[in-house]
Chain A
Amino acid sequence: MNIIQRLITSVLPADPESVTEELFRQKRYKRFRYSLFLAMNLIGLIPMMLTAGLGFSQYRDLLQREERDQLQWNMEGAQKTIEAFVHELQSVVNFVAHEDRYQELLDQNNLQILFDRLHKQYPGFVDLGVIDSKGIQQAYVGPYNLQGKDYSHQDWFAEVVAKKVFISNVVMGFRQAPHFAIKVTKKIPGTNEHWVLRATINAETLYHFIETINTQASDDIFIVSRDGILQTPSLFYGHILDSFQLSEQSTTKGQINRQLYDDIIDPTQLSEQLTTKGQIREVVDSSGKHILQASVLLKNTPWILILTKEGYIHGSHWSSFRQKLFFIFAGCSIVGLLITIQLSKILTERIRESDEKRHALLTEAEHTHKLASIGRLAAGVAHEINNPLAIIDQKAGLIQDILEFGGDFENKDKVTASLLGIHNGVNRCKVITHRLLGFARRMDFCEEKVHINEVLKEVLSFLEKEAMYNHIKFNLNLQEDIPVIYSDQGQLQQIFLNIINNALDAIGHDGQVTITSQVEDDSVLIGIQDNGPGIPEKTLQHIFEPFFTTKETGKGTGLGLSITYGLVKKLGGTIRVTSTVGEGAFFEVRFPLSL
């Protein structure tokens, strides 16, 4: 509202006092320009900022959700595939360890045949061993000499007896190569004792398998044990059997999805919290990268599957997108600013121009009005004075008649001289009143075809003699093909007579008057230039006002130019005067051609 009010008050006409205070007006326009600029910017920039901001955040959220979903699907797929693979291996070992084959498998040759067959099918199998209920390895096939080794003190031994099937973590063990083992416990028939078939599988099998299921949706995929040891090599987080550091990193708070950071997990907690459904977290790794980490328990194994993906909105694509967006926004803002600056400047200029035009019109109307009222007043006064003047004239005439018809008497000469004085005075008054009346009179407008050049030549013929006596030269520079205009010839004559007469008076003697006529646009232009003393600025302001004269008292009535002005206006023309003191004056009269 405030801005609108300010706009309106800025556009509204300035009150009369302030019209003269040019400085104040300049300030108003400046203020108007600033408010306009501000308003336009607010209208333009705020929606742009809102749109860009909303769009940006919406797009970012969408991307993040999409990314999480992708990772989730990927994780679920990988989990199923790996579980199936492990299950297959497990089934094979379970199938081989048939209960009543214990005795058969204790035979080294039989075991060798079995291992060969297995190895053919699954090259990952490294060795095969049969362990009796006391934990002693009774039979062994493989590259290491482990016959007779005692496993009874190892933790897994007790566990495998209880669980029937046991899959171990990946270890180096005696074999000095990463491997894991699948152990199956079976009862020895006819006894209460158990035997264990132990198959060792190269960890690389697992690794190659994972490699084959890796997709674009994740940067890294690997398996860790429940106590945080890498079971397969990771691209970013270490070699096989290194401890997995990621979850130990402290995470920065205050980022998106804050709650994800609240559970800073250490490896042991990791397994407790995890379910086979898995979870996705956003964490910061040691190199400061924001990554999405998906982790899920693999069923029937001691393993956790982990997939990581660098957050898109923290990656280089996103930052370049953000940069582009910023530059586009900044560019648009700058272009917008430039446009609004220019626009508010142009608008303010237009308003100022129309204000000035209106002001000029008002001044002119005021001027015309002033002249008209002075004219009416003058006519009234002249008319009132005219009648007593006529009486004085007649009375004086009567006295003179009486003197002429009567006889001589004392002082007759003096009386006659006085009567002559009265007569002269009356005559001067007569000239003034007639001119005044002429100034205001409403003569019938007599429209006829007028050749402006001929009018000018005619006027000059009246004045030629006077000019010649005073050694003043007329220079004529008339355009030949000026079209005929419709105007009042007599009044035109009076106009030019007045102006040229004034020029002659101004020059006095020895000089020249240049008269030009030409067609400009749709009007005819008559210029009258003298090389007299010129007109001072102060006189120029009043030059068309009645009774304003610079001539000696008695020599001019001060009505010539005001009558001229009135006539020009009446004929639909304009008159203008410019002058430089010492160089002469220039009168320019302009009449429309299509009148």
Chain B
Amino acid sequence: MTKIKLLIVDDEIEFAETLAERMELRGIATQTANNGKEALEMVHSSPPDLVILDLKMPDMSGLEVLQSIKSMHPSIEVIMLTGHGSTASGIEGMEKGAFDYIMKPVDLNDLLEKLKLANEKRSKA
């Protein structure tokens, strides 16, 4: 998985950076963005392979960011982060093209598993 480029989008900087650090420790090249605008810029300048995207952010919601990313680079797989504890918003994200969703607080092993599956899907495509 060394080739994977990951982008974590979350308005909670601490969360995003800590998660990014842990990903780096596991050999995944990870960048962070703290809002939707920043994320889109980064996707535009250097497109990642996978995106972990928080659903609830100020200014631009995760679903809007998801739609933009998918329109720019349909090959990028996105995993939604939902704090809602509900499956509904996750399912809505999946309908809009997200690969999967995972609930906060995140169990790292679950997340890694999903990332692996997403990457496999991307590679096949």
Contact = CB atoms under 8 A, between A and B. Distances in A.
Interface of A: 382-383, 386-387, 389-395, 397-398, 401-402, 405, 426, 430, 433-438, 441-444
7 tightest Cβ-Cβ pairs between the two chains A and B: A437-B85, A394-B18, A390-B105, A393-B105, A441-B86, A434-B85, A390-B104
Interface in B83-121: 83-88, 103-106, 108
B25 interface: yes
B84 A441 contact: yes
Nearest to B21: A398
Interface string B58-102: 000000000000000000000000011111100000000000000
B34 to A, nearest CB: 13
B55 to A, nearest CB: 12
A390 B106 contact: yes
Contacts of A443: 86-88
What class of interface size applies to chain B in its complex with A? Answer: 20 to 34
Contacts of B15: 387, 390-391, 394
Contact of A387 (B19, B104, B108): B104
Contacts, number: 69
A387 B18 contact: no
Residue from B21, B25, B83, B87 with most neighbouring chain A CB atoms (10 Å): B83
A472 B112 CA distance: 41
B12 interface: yes
B122 interface: no
Nearest to A433: B85
B85 A441 contact: yes
A267 B12 CA distance: 134
Interface in B1-27: 12, 14-15, 18-19, 21-22, 25-26
Interface of B: 12, 14-15, 18-19, 21-22, 25-26, 83-88, 103-106, 108
A394 B83 contact: no
Contacts of B105: 386, 389-390, 392-394, 426, 430
Contacts of B26: 401
A441 B26 CA distance: 35
24 contacts: A383-B83, A383-B84, A386-B83, A386-B104, A389-B104, A391-B18, A392-B105, A393-B106, A394-B14, A394-B18, A397-B18, A398-B22, A398-B25, A401-B25, A401-B26, A402-B25, A426-B105, A436-B85, A437-B86, A441-B84, A441-B86, A441-B88, A443-B87, A444-B88
B91 to A, nearest CB: 8
A436 B105 CA distance: 14
Given A387-B15, A437-B85, A443-B88, A401 B22 contact: yes
Contacts of B85: 382, 386, 433-438, 441
Contact of B19 (A394, A426, A434): A394
Contacts of B104: 386-387, 389-390
A230 to B, nearest CB: 122
Contacts of A397: 18, 22, 108
A443 B89 CA distance: 9
Contacts of A438: 85-86
A387 B12 contact: yes
A391 B22 contact: no
Given A386-B105, A397-B18, A443-B87, 9 more contacts: A383-B83, A383-B84, A390-B104, A390-B105, A391-B14, A394-B105, A397-B22, A437-B86, A444-B88
